[in-house]
Structure 1
Amino acid sequence: MSDSSTLPPARLHPEAELARDALSTPLLSRAVRLARWAGPATRVDAGGGLVEEQVPAAAEALGLSGEDAAADAAEAWRAAVDAGLVEVTDEEEGTVAAGADLGTVTGGGSPHEVLEVWLAALETVLADASVPDLGGLVDAIAAEDGSGELDLSSLDWDPEADAEFLDGVLGNLYLLTVGDDAAEAAPVPLPALAASVIVPDDMGEPTDDVLEQVSEAMMRLDDQFRMLEPAGLVEYQPVDEALMADADEEPAAPVDDTEVSRYGMVRLTPLGVYGLRARLLEAGFDAPAVGDLADKGADALLDGTAVFPPAAAHAETEQWLTRREPLAAARELLAAARGTDEGAPLRRLRCQQALSLVGAGAEPALREVLDDAELGGLARVWLTEHGAADVPPPSEAMIFWLTIDTVAAQLAAEGNSEELRALVEGLAAQHSGFFSTVWRVDHPATADV
């Protein structure tokens, strides 16, 4: 994913709703509870982590038990420190106090400020998720000479590569989510997500080596998504434990679609979409959100939505229209739709789609362009669809010009699709002289069409 490309727009939930979601996540709620639990006797090590002997008390304060209780409590403490809920007051003594942001999340901050705190805590979990399970660490502590020094060369771990791998997976998951036209994006099978960052785009049939890499990646992602779910980033259905019964054997990628859910399913939450978009913006990506164009002109709206998925374009246009009086909006849209440049046909298509959302109050604007060579055709379509009276019939030249304009717009929007070919074949079947006439149409896109 290039940082120079514009991503599809995210349909974000209201910040007030997202802030409530953030406060209810185990990640942030535990961090807040530990920040309140900490007192004068609380001590941290040089890195700000809770000293080992106090971790059990922290776990008890959180109501945690079981083999993961200590690790979960330690992570919650790190999140509290990193998010500014706790601050170290004396590094030598290891003392702490409530941080400036504790009041933000306990009632004194705006939804946006609460989300900023959650984002800071999220970075802690993402950093932890990028660290593999260093099962060989104990063996690596003592080199063969018994020096007791950590032999990092014996650990097959590249921290930067592991962080880039997780970022790449989350980036692809974000793309799949914001590019989905459904109101709620479908969960993504873990094998497909792993393959999206492992299998080269130009590889037809994956080799055995590549399939093995995909299986290994699935296991890493299974662990990572289990860690990220309590942060509120994803909804995750883990890999079926039965598939991992043999610890020495990586599970093969599924071949039966009915079995795919057993291999893990993941979906970004609305909070996750917000969080990943914020990280993408921070990394320099152009990651728009629906509503970004609402206060801009009609030219920006038509050009911007030209590359949006249909549902996002519809939502963006609705927000744009709510800020304008119908007649003025219609006139502005029609003026922006004019032009003979390459992008003009798609602008006119987006204009026509936008005008379909405007009520009868826009009728005068449509009547004003009935004699316009570029806009007269779409004006007649709108007036007819809205049951207007006294709509003059179009000339044959206008019909063919509008046909070329519509086909050119569809080509720009979706390429030479089967649906478009069927449309042209239908037009040719209805009009015996279609092709002999259409090539003479005075439209800039005639040759391309």
Structure 2
Amino acid sequence: MSDSSPLPPVRLHPEAELARDALSTPLLSRAARLARWAGPDTRVDAGGELVEEQLPAAAELLGLTGDDAAAWASEAWRVALDTGLVEITDEEAGTVAAGEELGLLTGGAPHDVLAVWQTALETVLADASVPDLDDLVDAVNPEEGVTEIDFSSLDWDPEAEAEFLDGVLGNLYLLSVNEEGPGDGPVPLPALAASMIVPSDMGEPTNDVLEQVSDAMMRLDDQFRLLEPVGLVEYQPVDEALMADADEEPAAPVDDTDVSRYGMVRLTPLGLYGLRARLQEAGFPAPAVGDLADKGADALLDGTAHFPPAAAQAETEQWLARREPLAAARELLAAARGGDAGAPLRRLRCQQALSLVGATAEPALREVLEDAELGGLARVWLSEQGASDVPPPSEAMIFWLTVDTVAAQLAAEGNSDELRALVEGLAQQHSGFFSAAWRVDHPATADVLEAMGRLHPDKKIAKEARKAAFKARSQQGS
């Protein structure tokens, strides 16, 4: 995920709902139960971990059974310690008591609960970046002279491992918030692994690359199993039946019919909240729908300029809900003025926002009918509303509005198929379009004509557009 591209806005659930989700996650609820259980008789070692003799009692308290019961109890205790739900009262004696943060889970505001959960998430993410050391521990054999682990022999770079997991989660976040992504749907684990391994310009992946994807899948399988109990993701693990030999890793799936057996993962609403907070802390602009609701119309139009359509509408609806319709319309129109590079797209967003206001905005639109920058927009809006007595636009206003509209589409979508169709339609409807368009007194005239020359499939018409762009630039320079 690149930090140069703005992230689409995320639609977050209300904090009260997210706080309830956080409290019900297996790991935080376990940590809270251990914190309430902790007392003068609870003993920890020098690192604050529960001594081994106390793990069975902790696991029993949490209702954990099986071979991993002690490990999950130990993880819950570590979360309780890191989040301040328990605190060490005497390091020398190794005694503990409930911490101040425990009260926040029952008496704090939703934001306080989420702050505790966020700390728990960081603990689990740090654990997930550590490889499984069981085989190395088993290798310690005093009888053969092997008494300690040689960490220097490990093929493990802690920083690189953490960066890899951060990258995977960043891609999962981007897929989740992008309107063209799966949204609330799960993402296949092979696709997520491939997003980190396979170069974007690679056609058919090589066997070496496919092996790397398979390795990454298995690492992610272990990591997502750890991340699910903290509520970050919902995860369907890799089907163990795919691994005929315990020492072998499954190859990447060859078709879509069996892809779910290779693992499926989706961010929970709580996970979206948590990852957005981490992205913001790392310096990424990670907007959320509603961020602009209490800001001015200028911030709304600039802020939603490159939002996907549905997100832009949702943001605008929240902004309008806090304002009186006619006053909001006047504020939007005032913010849409300007001759800067972003102005055409502001006017497009303004027009889209005004379509949500309805007929109440009519007086504001009539007030700008003679405005050079807004008069064309006002006429279009009034006509679409079925208003009467709408004065016809002059030819100059029609051409100015056309240039402004194309400039806005260029800024919003680039060289899209929709813009190409618009360009072809303009040239077809107006036989003398280019002979008149270069004279339009709009800052973007030359850029628009150059784009039309680039986009139009007819070489003769494209040449006309380029000539008109040259004349426009010459006029601007004179």
Q: Would you say same fold, with TM above 0.5?
A: yes
Aligned: 1:190 with 2:189: yes
**What is the Cα deviation at residue 194 of structure 1?**
1.0
User: Aligned residue for 2:265?
Assistant: 266
What is aligned with 2:408?
409
Q: Distance in 2 between matches of 1:359 and 1:290?
A: 22
Q: Note if contact 1:369-1:379 (Cα within 8 Å) is conserved in structure 2.
A: yes
The alignment's TM-score, normalised by the length of structure 2, stands at 0.89
Q: Which residue of 1 aligns with 2:389?
A: 390
Q: Is the 8 A contact 1:293 1:300 kept in 2?
A: yes
TM-aligned CA deviation for residue 359 of structure 1: 2.8
Structure 2 counterpart of 1:93, one-letter code: A
SS at match of 1:236: strand
Cα distance in 2 between the residues matched to 1:183 and 1:18: 21
Partner residue, 1:51: 51
Structure 2 letter corresponding to 1:356: S
Greater Cα offset, 137-146 or 226-235: 137-146
Q: Quote the offset at 1:85 in angstroms.
A: 0.8
Give yes or no for the alignment of 1:214 onto 2:209: no
Which residue of 1 is the match for residue 80 of structure 2?
Answer: 80
Deviations 1:394-424 (A, max 9, x none): 2232222222211111111111111221222
Q: Deviations over 1:318-353 (max 9, x none)?
A: 222122221221111111111122111111111111
Shift of 1:2: 4.6
State the partner residue of 1:281: 280
Work out the CA distance in 1 between the residues paired with 2:264 and 2:331.
45
Is contact 1:317–1:354 with CA below 8 Å preserved after alignment? Answer: yes
Residues 180-220 of structure 1 show CA distances to partners (whole Å, capped at 9, x for unaligned) of 36894332221121111222334343322122111100111
CA distance in 2, matches of 1:252, 1:209: 12
**Residues in 2 aligned to 1:15 and 1:306: alpha-carbon distance in whole angstroms:** 27
Equivalent residue number for residue 422 of structure 2 = 423
Whether the 8 Å CA contact 2:44–2:94 is kept in 1: the answer is yes
Identity, % of aligned pairs? 84
Equivalence map 1:335-414=2 (5 Å): 335-414=334-413
Judge which range, 247-256 or 274-283, deviates more: 247-256
Matched residue, 1:244 = 243
2:299 is the alignment partner of 1:331: no
Letter of the structure 2 residue corresponding to residue 71 of structure 1: A
Q: How does 1:112-261 map to 2 (within 5 A)?
A: 112-138=111-137, 141=140, 146=145, 148-180=147-179, 184-261=183-260
Distance 2:432 2:239 in 1: 62
In structure 1, runs of 5+ residues without a counterpart are none
User: Are the structure 2 counterparts of residues 321 and 181 from structure 1 closer, same or farther at C-alpha, using a change threshold of 3 Å?
Assistant: farther
Matched letter for residue 60 of structure 2: E
Cα deviation for residue 272 of structure 1 reads 0.4
1:8–1:288 Cα contact (<8 Å) kept: yes
> Which string of whole-angstrom CA distances, capped at 9 and with x for unpartnered residues, describes residues 281-340 of structure 1?
222222222222222221111111112122221121122212222122111111111112
**Aligned mates of 1:381, 1:261 — CA distance in 2:** 49
Distance (whole Å) between structure 2 residues aligned to residue 308 and residue 408 of structure 1 = 17
C-alpha contact (below 8 Å) 1:234/1:269 kept by paired residues: yes
Give the letter aligned to residue 110 of structure 1. A
Paired position in structure 1 for 2:312: 313
Q: CA deviation at 1:63?
A: 0.7
With 275-284 and 111-120 compared, the bigger mean Cα shift is at 275-284
Q: Are residues 354 and 5 of structure 1, via their aligned partners in 2, closer, same or farther at CA, if it must alter by over 3 Å?
A: same
Cα distance, 1:382 vs structure 2: 1.4
| 8 Å contact kept, 1:56–1:70 | yes
The 3 A distance-change label for structure 1 pair 158 and 183 is: closer
Give the corresponding residue for 2:104: 104
Output the CA distance in 1 between the equivalents of 2:182 and 2:255. 27
Bigger drift between 50-59 and 31-40 goes to: 31-40
Name the aligned partner's letter for residue 24 of structure 2. Answer: S
- CA distance in 2: counterparts of 1:378 and 1:255, whole angstroms: 52
Distance in 1, Cα, partners of 2:391 & 2:139: 85
Question: Compared with structure 1, are the counterparts of its residues 180 and 187 closer, same or farther at alpha carbon in structure 2 (3 Å cutoff)?
Answer: farther
Contact preservation (8 Å) 1:136, 1:155: no
3-state SS of 1:96 partner = strand
| TM norm structure 1 | 0.94
How has the CA–CA distance of structure 1 residues 366 and 181 changed in structure 2, closer, same or farther, with 3 Å as cutoff?
farther
Determine helix, strand or coil for the equivalent of 1:55.
helix
- 3-state DSSP of counterpart to 1:136: helix
C-alpha change, 1:254 and 1:440, in structure 2 (3 Å) is farther
Classify the secondary structure of the residue corresponding to 2:300: helix
Tell me if the contact between 2:12 and 2:273 (Cα under 8 Å) persists in the aligned partners.
yes
For 1:3 and 1:96, locate their aligned partners in 2 and report how far apart those are by CA, in whole Å.
43
Q: Which amino acid in 2 is paired with 1:212?
A: E
In the TM superposition, what is the alpha-carbon distance from 1:95 to its structure 2 partner? 0.7
CA distance in 2 between counterparts of 1:204 and 1:337 reads 44
In 2, are the aligned partners of 1:142 and 1:150 still within 8 Å (CA)? no
Aligned AA (1:297): G
One-letter identity of the residue aligned with 1:54: Q
2:149 is aligned with what amino acid?
A: L
Match of 2:39?
Answer: 39
- CA distance, structure 2, for counterparts of residue 147 and residue 244 of structure 1: 31
Cα deviation digits, residues 29-66 of structure 1 (max 9, x gap): 11111111222211111111111111111111111111
